[in-house]
Amino acid sequence: MLGGTVKAGSRTKLQKDSANTSRYAIDSVELEQVAPKTDPDPGAYVVPARFDHQDVQNALDKVRMHTSGKLRGVHLPAGDYGTSNKLFEPELVVRGSTAQLPPTA
C-alpha cells in the first residue's frame, strides 16, 4: 500500500537496500487503487501471529500439514513482513493478500 494516489504518468522508483544482495528482474509494474483485503473465510485461512518470517512459515506449515480438509490457505493481512530467507511452500498459490493451496484430488 502506497498510502496515496499515484497520478497517471507519474514515475515510481523501486529500490532495494544495500543489505539485500539478491538480483531482481522486473518486466512491468501495474498499480491500482485498492483497499486491504479482509480474511475471506476465517475458518479456512490461517493468519500468522506476527509479521515475521517464522510466523508466516508456521502458518504455511500448519495449512500444509492439516488433515481435516477445512484449511485452504494462509491469509496475509496488509503489513510489512520481515523475512531473511525463502518461505517454503512448494504448492502455494498467491491471490491478492491470501495465499492458497491448490485443491487436492
Could you tell me the residue range of the domain that residue 86 belongs to? Answer: 45-100
Q: Is residue 83 part of a domain?
A: yes
Residue 87 DSSP label:
-
Task: Give yes or no for residue 93 having a pLDDT over 60.
Answer: no
Flag whether 10 is in a domain. Answer: no
Is residue 105 scored above 70 in pLDDT? no
89 located within any domain:
yes
Domain membership flag for residue 55 = yes
pTM (2 decimals)?
0.58
Q: Does residue 97 contact residue 36 with C-beta atoms inside 8 Å?
A: yes
Based on the structure, what is the number of domains in the chain?
A: 1
State which H helix or E strand residue 58 sits in.
helix 53-65
Report yes or no on 59 lying in a domain.
yes
Could you report the per-residue pLDDT of 53-71, keeping only the tens digit for each? 899 889 988 988 888 888 8
More confident residue, 81 or 68: 68
Contacts of 57 (CB under 8 A, 6+ apart): 87, 88
* Residue 72 belongs to some domain of the structure: yes
